[in-house]
């Protein structure tokens, strides 16, 4: 088991205690009926939502860019999850020339590759190259990288740092990130924690990491624990948490400069909801019994429990609705403005009570497994999301200090893929790195959207066959999709030099693969 680095000893234990306390208290989350999503909230409630649209930041571009140059950007990339929903053993076997049985998965960021000048470059490596580019361009005074890993992924991340830099082959990434403008801060290792068995007791027969709320807790702790941040002085220190496989999960200097100028403590980056986001969490407003208005996230599960799933999925997409704010899971922390708030609350409440107040809303995730005795049992995984940590902190600041701590930068549809390109499926990976929909800029190491509309196609692939990266790469090899709007496939399909335009629906009811070639425009095929 990997030993946790010295400055973070106690983080995992403290985090699990917070989740366990929520479980034992039996406290229920917010009812869907009592929250007003941004898309339909009243003007009175909306006045309590501090946000700015990304396009509006460009109006003060030169000033904001100048302010960003004075900051130290501390990038935390979440690389702790294995991402088992994307099957990639055969893909990695081919890439590494190794027996599939000997392949050990790391995180998605180290297991999925782009190709640059005939060389494979992992997405996690592209994140490092992004940081090098931004530092060399002088966007910030310094860029500091930090990885959030787990016991399963720590080896793959260590191997990455020992690789020779793509553009400076005489140095490893460890050596490159040891200069005047680039640095590396020791990783956070998120440990597995016990689950709850059928008798309500703690069990180690099944363990789990506990969700990315741990990183949100860590970000707040860094405000008052000097050893948990890379520099002592918080002046000009801006921290960012983003997904390790998402090349869009870093802010640009406009966002950072805006936070510095307006002394904004924390930001959640949201994007305008599209048909791709019907299942995900949305920002909403709540007025409590004391007339305090605060911000929360409503999830699909809450809508299902209230019998309002259809409404939830349609919010922000109906005629007359405002755009819905969809959480991208990228958060920014301006420590110069954040630290005084946290320190004031900790001094008033004590550290333990402060942490209880900002602890994440509990997610009870029931999982079945067959134990070593051959009996199937159900275990409850205790988890939390980073967004709820930030919003619980914001609510506390509103209650105790009368201040709004968390603001929102909402990214419009046309800018969406600059800041939000998660890889949740094998098809997402194909689209970004093996299709004509995106192009990788080899200077900035960022994706450029080449789709004719600037939007991404709505894609539904109804077969587990498409969970496997190799199957998806084979099925869509060379397929042109820059004009594709919607794609629905049921059964196994393989395109042979095809071009997909508009709305395509294909149903294959047979067991063998359905080979299709040529141009398809607004077609429905069935066999």
In this structure, are 387 and 448 located in the same domain?
no
Burial class (CB in 10 A: 0-12, 13-18, 19+), 482: middle
Residue environment code for 275-286, b if the CB has 16+ CB neighbours within 10 A, otherwise e = ebbbebbbbbbb
- From the CB of residue 219, how many other CB atoms can be counted at a distance below 10 Å? 26
Q: Which of 419, 441, 456 is the last residue of a domain?
A: 419
Domain boundary residue among 367, 393, 419? 419
The single residue listed with the structure tokens 């690389």 is 79
The answer on 353 and 485 residing in a single domain is: no
Q: What is the pLDDT of residue 325?
A: 93
Show the tokens assigned to 108: 């998605």
Question: Which tens digits make up the pLDDT trace of 178-216?
Answer: 988 999 999 999 999 999 999 999 999 999 999 999 999
Range 376-398 average pLDDT = 95
Please indicate, yes or no, whether residues 130 and 183 belong to a single structural domain of this protein: yes
Residue 89 lies in a domain: no
Q: Could you report the per-residue pLDDT of 50-79, keeping only the tens digit for each?
A: 999 999 999 999 999 999 999 999 999 999
> pLDDT band at residue 8, thresholds of 50, 70 and 90?
low
3-state secondary structure of 403: coil
Residues 44 and 138 in one domain: yes
DSSP-assigned states of every residue in 208-245: E---THHHHHHHHHTTT-GGGSS-S--TTEEEEEEETT
User: Is the per-residue pLDDT at 279 higher than 80?
Assistant: no
Confidence (pLDDT) at 3: 38
Residue 194 maps to a domain: yes
Q: Is the pLDDT of residue 228 over 60?
A: yes
Task: Give the rounded percent of residues in the chain with a pLDDT score beyond 90.
Answer: 85
311 domain residue, yes or no = yes
Question: What pLDDT does residue 72 have?
Answer: 98
Write the CB contacts of 431 (distance below 8 Å, at least 6 apart in sequence).
437, 438, 456, 481
From 404, 419, 434, the end of a domain falls on 419
Per-residue pLDDT for 143 more than 70?
yes
Amino acid 343: pLDDT: 97
Q: Which of 22-36, 146-160, 282-296, 340-354 has the lowest mean pLDDT?
A: 22-36
Residue 248 included in any domain: yes
pLDDT of residue 9: 64
Percentage of the chain surpassing pLDDT 70?
98
Provide the number of structural domains found in the chain. Answer: 2
Q: Which helix H or strand E contains 73, and what residues bound it?
A: strand 72-78
Pair 488, 403 in one domain = no
Strand partners, 207: 194
Q: Is the pLDDT of residue 7 over 50?
A: no
Same domain flag for 322 and 455: no
Q: Which pLDDT score is estimated for 131?
A: 97
Contact yes or no for 327/273 (Cβ under 8 A): no
- Report helix, strand or coil for 119: strand
Could you tell me the sign of the dihedral formed by the alpha carbons of 513, 515, 520, 526, in that order? Answer: negative
Residue 306 lies in a domain: yes
Full residue range of the structural domain in which residue 271 is found:
6-84+94-419
Mean residue pLDDT across the chain: 93
Asked if residue 222 belongs to a domain, the reply is yes
Helix extents (H) in 237-276: 253-261
Residue 287 CA to residue 502 CA, distance in Å, equals 43
Residue 1 forms part of a structural domain: no
User: Which range has the worst mean pLDDT, 175-189, 292-306, 472-486?
Assistant: 292-306
What is the rounded average pLDDT of the residues 217-244? 96
Give, for 427, the enclosing helix (H) or strand (E): helix 426-433
Helices (H), ranges, 73-121: 89-96, 108-111
Does residue 475 share a domain with residue 408?
no
Which of 451, 459, 461 has the alpha carbon at shortest distance from 483? 451
Neighbours of 120 (CB within 10 A): 12
User: Which residue is listed with tokens 């000997």?
Assistant: 102
- Same domain as 481, residue 347: no
Q: Which of 23, 382, 27 is CA-nearest to residue 193?
A: 382
Examine the domain organization and report whether 465 and 396 are in the same domain: no
pLDDT in tens, 243-265: 999 999 999 999 999 999 999 99
- 380 and 483 share one domain: no
Specify if 406 maps to a domain.
yes
- Same domain (yes/no): 141, 265: yes
Instruction: Give yes or no: residues 168 and 296 share one domain.
Output: yes
The CATH number linked to 476 is: 2.160.10.10
CATH number at residue 166: 3.90.550.10
pLDDT bracket for residue 26 (50, 70, 90)? confident
């Amino acid at each position: 088991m990997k030993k946790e680095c010295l400055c973070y000893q106690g983080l995992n234990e403290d985090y699990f205690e917070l989740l366990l306390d929520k479980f034992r208290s039996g406290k229920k989350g917010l009812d869907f009926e009592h929250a007003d999503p941004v898309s339909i909230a009243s003007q009175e409630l909306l006045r309590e939502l501090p946000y700015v649209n990304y396009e509006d930041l460009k109006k003060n571009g030169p000033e904001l860019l100048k302010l960003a140059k004075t900051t130290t950007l501390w990038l935390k990339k979440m690389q702790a999850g294995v991402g088992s929903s994307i099957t990639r053993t055969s893909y990695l076997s081919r890439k590494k020339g190794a027996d599939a049985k000997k392949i050990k998965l790391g995180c998605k960021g180290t297991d999925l590759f782009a190709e640059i000048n005939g060389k494979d470059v992992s997405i996690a490596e592209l994140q490092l190259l992004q940081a090098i580019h931004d530092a060399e361009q002088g966007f910030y005074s310094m860029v500091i990288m930090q990885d959030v890993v787990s016991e399963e992924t720590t080896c793959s991340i260590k191997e990455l740092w020992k690789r020779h830099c793509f553009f400076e082959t005489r140095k490893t990434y460890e050596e490159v990130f040891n200069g005047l403008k680039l640095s590396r801060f020791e990783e956070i290792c998120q440990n597995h924690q016990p689950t709850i068995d059928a008798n309500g007791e703690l069990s180690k027969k099944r363990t789990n990491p506990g969700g990315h709320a741990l990183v949100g807790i860590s970000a707040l702790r860094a405000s008052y624990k000097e050893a948990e941040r890379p520099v002592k002085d918080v002046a000009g220190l801006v921290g960012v948490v983003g997904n390790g496989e998402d090349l869009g999960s870093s802010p640009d200097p406009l966002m950072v400069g805006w936070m510095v100028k307006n002394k904004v403590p924390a930001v959640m980056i949201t994007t305008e909801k599209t048909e791709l986001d019907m299942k995900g969490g949305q920002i909403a407003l709540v007025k409590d019994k004391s007339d305090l208005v605060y911000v929360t996230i409503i999830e699909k599960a809450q809508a299902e429990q209230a019998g309002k799933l259809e409404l939830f999925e349609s919010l922000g997409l109906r005629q007359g609705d405002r755009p819905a704010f969809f959480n991208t899971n990228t958060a920014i922390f301006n420590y110069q403005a954040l630290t005084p708030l946290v320190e004031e609350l900790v001094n008033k409440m004590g550290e333990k009570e402060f942490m209880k107040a900002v602890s994440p809303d509990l997610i009870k995730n029931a999982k079945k497994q067959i134990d070593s005795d051959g009996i199937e049992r159900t275990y409850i995984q205790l988890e939390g999301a980073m967004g709820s940590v930030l919003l619980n902190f914001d609510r506390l600041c509103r209650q105790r200090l009368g201040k709004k701590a968390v603001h929102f930068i909402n990214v419009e549809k046309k800018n969406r893929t600059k800041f939000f390109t998660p890889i949740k499926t094998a098809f997402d990976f194909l689209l970004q790195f093996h299709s004509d929909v995106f192009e990788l800029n080899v200077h900035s190491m960022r994706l450029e959207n080449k789709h004719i509309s600037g939007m991404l196609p709505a894609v539904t692939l109804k077969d587990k066959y498409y969970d496997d990266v190799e199957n998806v790469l084979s099925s869509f090899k060379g397929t042109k999709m820059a004009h594709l709007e919607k794609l629905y496939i049921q059964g196994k399909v393989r395109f042979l030099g095809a071009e997909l335009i508009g709305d395509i629906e294909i149903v294959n009811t047979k067991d063998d693969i359905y080979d299709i070639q040529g141009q398809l425009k607004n077609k429905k095929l069935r066999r």
